[in-house]
Amino acid sequence: MNLKETTLSRLNVNKFKKFNKITNKSLFFSYDWLSFLGEIYNKDPKISYYFNKKKQIEFFLPFINKFTRTSTKSVSLPLCVVPLSSFHNLEKFISALRNKTDEVYFHSSNLIEGTAIVDNFYLSTLDMSKYSNSEKLFKSLNKSNIQRKVLKAMKQNFTLIVDGNKKLFEEFENLQSKTRHRQGSPDYPKNFFKNLTKFLKNKVKIFGVKENDKLIAATVFFWDKNSNRAIYAYGANDEKYLTKNRGANQLAMWLGIEYAKKNNFRYLDFGKTPLSNKSLLTYKERWGAKTENCFMLVHPKKATKLDVKRDSYFFLIFSKLMRILPFNIYKFISETIFKYL
């Protein structure tokens, strides 16, 4: 096995894109996604990879440095969504990496020998190929929690935006910040969504619901044609309209799902859910998603675990504090701590 290491800036882009086009099964292993992460983290992502006998790239693993309270860890990318076990020769690749002294964290739906479990969660996916059209797909969704709310929203005087432009992303960024503040989660870095559209271009789509020209709910999806899936990535809503239970939130989600179905995607990926978050898992199941178990693993096995977990006591206290901070202070702190999470 010819294992090598380089950085994104020193990678042979043409060779990488050729490999990506032929072999890759995920947007999160694309050159565009890695470039986006490099911009957001202000770092040059490292990449370990190996060649086969024909000197063709057969597998690679990109990773960046993440900082915990006590040390620096090498965390592989993607951090979620597609299990690495779906790639060819993963076990060989991990075996080759064991000679390194770095701690490397990665996701897999299978346990790999010589690794330790850091975290356990579910992946939720809707297989839309079972339905011949979007109308039949809609009728399969939970009747009281999804169908009725979507139909209720459609009767409102809302303006619906399908595959919105950059201006809508700017409006969404502000709405997303307020949503995360309300939830007690750190905000994304400045220009996060502007850079998404810059690097991913037509691979990122936004769907919005407006009232009186004001954005009240929106969803952002990734278009991953290599894996034949649309990926629900981000959502935001105006709390004032959410409490009125007018269905705008569900409608924004349905607009994205319906668009994905009409564009012949097979899968709708709802991402990962912690085992402890039963309500979120139930919400995804109401949209027809099926779950599979997935693990975050670390090698070498004796390596220490990452310190931050979303369902830990520390994170719950931290989340409460974030919710009560004035919005401007919340934004400032979010910029500072983003690299730790």
State the DSSP string of 219-258: EEEEEETTTTEEEEEEEEE-HHHHTTT-SHHHHHHHHHHH
- Residue 273: strand, helix, or coil: strand
Q: How does pLDDT run across 186-196, given as a tens digit for each residue?
A: 999 888 999 99
Q: Which of 274, 217, 265 is nearest to 244 (CA)?
A: 217
How high is the pLDDT of residue 128?
Answer: 97
Q: Which of 254, 154, 157 is nearest to 207 (CA)?
A: 254
* Residue labelled with tokens 């990734």: 222
Q: Identify the segments of the chain with pLDDT beneath 50.
A: 1, 78-85, 101
Q: Which of 93, 9, 33 is nearest to 58 (CA)?
A: 93
What does CATH list as the number for 125-293? 3.40.630.30
Residue extents of the structural domains in the chain = 2-118+298-340, 125-293
Distances (CA, A) of 18 to 142, 229, 262: 42, 21, 29
How high is the pLDDT of residue 310?
Answer: 62
- This prediction has a pTM of 0.85
Residue 204: CB atoms within 10 A of its CB come to 22
How high is the pLDDT of residue 83?
Answer: 46
Strands 104-108 and 72-76, by their bridges, are parallel
Instruction: Give the residue ranges of DSSP H helices in the chain.
Output: 13-23, 31-41, 90-97, 134-139, 148-154, 166-183, 192-200, 239-242, 248-262, 278-286, 313-324, 327-337
How high is the pLDDT of residue 79?
Answer: 44
Q: How does pLDDT run across 257-282, given as a tens digit for each residue?
A: 999 999 999 999 998 888 888 999 99
